[in-house]
Amino acid sequence: MCSILGIFRQQTGDNLQPLRPLALELSRRQRHRGPDWSGVYVDEAAILVHERLAIVDPAGGAQPMRSADGDLVLAVNGEIYNHRELKASLRQAYDFQTESDCEVISALFREDADIGGWLNRVNGIFAFALWDRGAQRVLIARDPIGVVPLYWGHDGAGRLCVASEMKALADLCDNVAQFPPGHFYDSADGQLVAYYQRPWREHAATVDVRVDPAELREAFEAAVHRQLMCDVPYGVLLSGGLDSSLVAACAARFARKRIEEDDQAEAWWPRLHSFAIGLEGSPDLAAAEVAAEALGTVHHGFTYTQEEGMDAIPEVIRHIETFDVTTIRASTPMFLLARRIKAMGVKMVLSGEGSDEIFGGYLYFHKAPNAREFHEELVRKIDALHNYDCLRANKSMMAWGVEPRVPFLDVAFMEVAMKMDASAKMVGMRADGTVRIEKAVLREAFEGYLPDSILWRQKEQFSDGVGYGWIDGLKDDAEATVSDAQLAEAAARFPINTPVTKEGYWYRELFEQQFPGDACARTVPGGKSIACSTETALAWDASFSNAADPSGRAMRGVHQAANA
């Protein structure tokens, strides 16, 4: 994974070549994402700059990639997991210039005019800009869920600009905004098109659809297997919760063989390493040790202090580009962990994001009144992932040049997991009188893969699991930093997405120092920072409907009772 930056002229006669130094300086602000090499392409109408983190084909695969005739220029941030299948399916010959998994995008563009059609065939995480010099045309696209970040806007001269992170565009574009997931923009017609549309988004398409546990398990194993495509040392994030432990369990089954050679050769790095972090005595560190022992991973559990976490907050906000309370709480230990992982020479990790959104793992789902509302909330949560967990995982890790991959959000796995009737995912009473807890359908599919203490461990938010003292310390620090008078005047100081707590005010102030202006503030979702995404979902539990604290511990009657 890497970073991209593009500037494209909108008026004939505008020569972009003098902007090369500016483009290089803007791209340098993202170089933490791609510390291995820099590449630049410039002509009169387009500039593309790429900062590379070499994961696949590290000896080759430099970007921007050019077609053999020089007409197509491609800059990609991401991984295309099914690139070999896509290459094999090409109907016309394409003269590939590298072994990169991403170059197949140029081949698909040249062969097929149906952009949405071929984008839906791609299984990967990506944000790219493709310049067709002959046609003076640019194509910009982002992966279906928004695992990879992308921003765009226009500079003062009206030029179209894109970048992997907002910090590269904040001083250049007054209208900087997120490029939406699952969309493409084609300058040929000037339209922004939603290409990722799935039947399972509508509850009616899932009614009475059953998925066998074996089908669910095999689909997830296949997703993990695909995402082990890697030519550099890698590992897994292992908090000891269900999701990360399942990722690690599946990865451990494939780690000894090289995926890019169809499992016929020994892996270059056959020992699977796992990583966890927390305050001294945290629940996650203890659970991760149990899971690692059962799976046989080479485990590395790191601790951090409350002071180290507090000291990192301003830098964390600069990297993750949000003032959302939950995201900052969870990003900080992840940011610190990424630095440790980088120091060990690991460049890619698998992580467990997305499972809670697909299976209803958040504790407020216990209150869902029926399958339809349960399913509709899943879809809303998936649609919001790019603002929260995907943003956190990607930017916290990429701050240190470590690429996170998320098998639960593999598009082929999601087709299986989201097509099932939501009633199979809901909590409730079994015939024998025992309680069927959240994500039971996933746990049951993986019986025997993990110790029961891990397989049936109840949900902890990451910011809780690293140690309950972490959140309490943040609140105390915010109380000492922000006065009652400041909070009372928050609406006047921050009229856009006004913070409602002192902790939120503190983060917003730090964000404003680094990303001033209304446009930057609007890239962060509005409303309270809470686990649920809509008032409909909040109505499931009146005690949670007005909660300003997004910690999982705020779920009265669910989390406290389960952990009493």
Residues making up the annotated binding site for ATP are: 237, 277, 351-352
The closest alpha carbon to 325, from 501, 148, 490, belongs to 501
Residues β-bridged to residue 277: 302
| Residue 4, H or E segment | strand 3-8
Strands of 160-163's sheet in order across: 37-42, 46-52, 3-8, 160-163, 151-154, 177-178
Tokens 């202006």 correspond to what residue?
Answer: 517
Tokens 């097929």 correspond to what residue?
Answer: 112
The closest alpha carbon to 389, from 310, 331, 316, belongs to 331
Question: Rounded to an integer, what distance in angstroms lies between the CA atom of residue 153 and that of residue 484?
Answer: 37
Tokens 């701050």 correspond to what residue?
Answer: 399
The closest alpha carbon to 239, from 273, 272, 278, belongs to 278
The closest alpha carbon to 178, from 321, 358, 14, belongs to 321
The closest alpha carbon to 469, from 302, 333, 295, belongs to 333
Q: What is the CA radius of gyration of the chain?
A: 23
Asked if 2 is an active-site residue, the reply is yes
Three-state SS string over 173-189 comes to CCCCEECCCCEEEECCC
Burial bucket for residue 31 (CB in 10 Å: 0-12, 13-18, 19+):
middle
Question: Rounded to an integer, what distance in angstroms lies between the CA atom of residue 279 and that of residue 551?
Answer: 17
Residues annotated in a binding site: 101, 237, 277, 351-352
The closest alpha carbon to 161, from 54, 26, 351, 8, belongs to 8
The closest alpha carbon to 105, from 21, 184, 199, belongs to 184
- Cβ atoms of 129 and 140 within 8 Å: the answer is yes
Question: Rounded to an integer, what distance in angstroms lies between the CA atom of residue 223 and that of residue 146?
Answer: 17
Q: How many CB atoms lie within 10 A of CB 397?
A: 28
- Of the residues 2, 102, 161, 520, only one is catalytic, namely 2
- Cβ atoms of 183 and 528 within 8 Å: the answer is no
Dihedral angle, C-alpha 275, 281, 283, 285, nearest 10 °: 10
Cis peptide before 270 (omega within 30 of 0): no
Residues annotated in a binding site for L-glutamine: 101
* Amino acid identity, position 269: W
**Per the structure block, which two tokens stand in for 355?**
């499972």
**Per the structure block, which two tokens stand in for 118?**
């071929």
Q: Which residues are catalytic?
A: 2
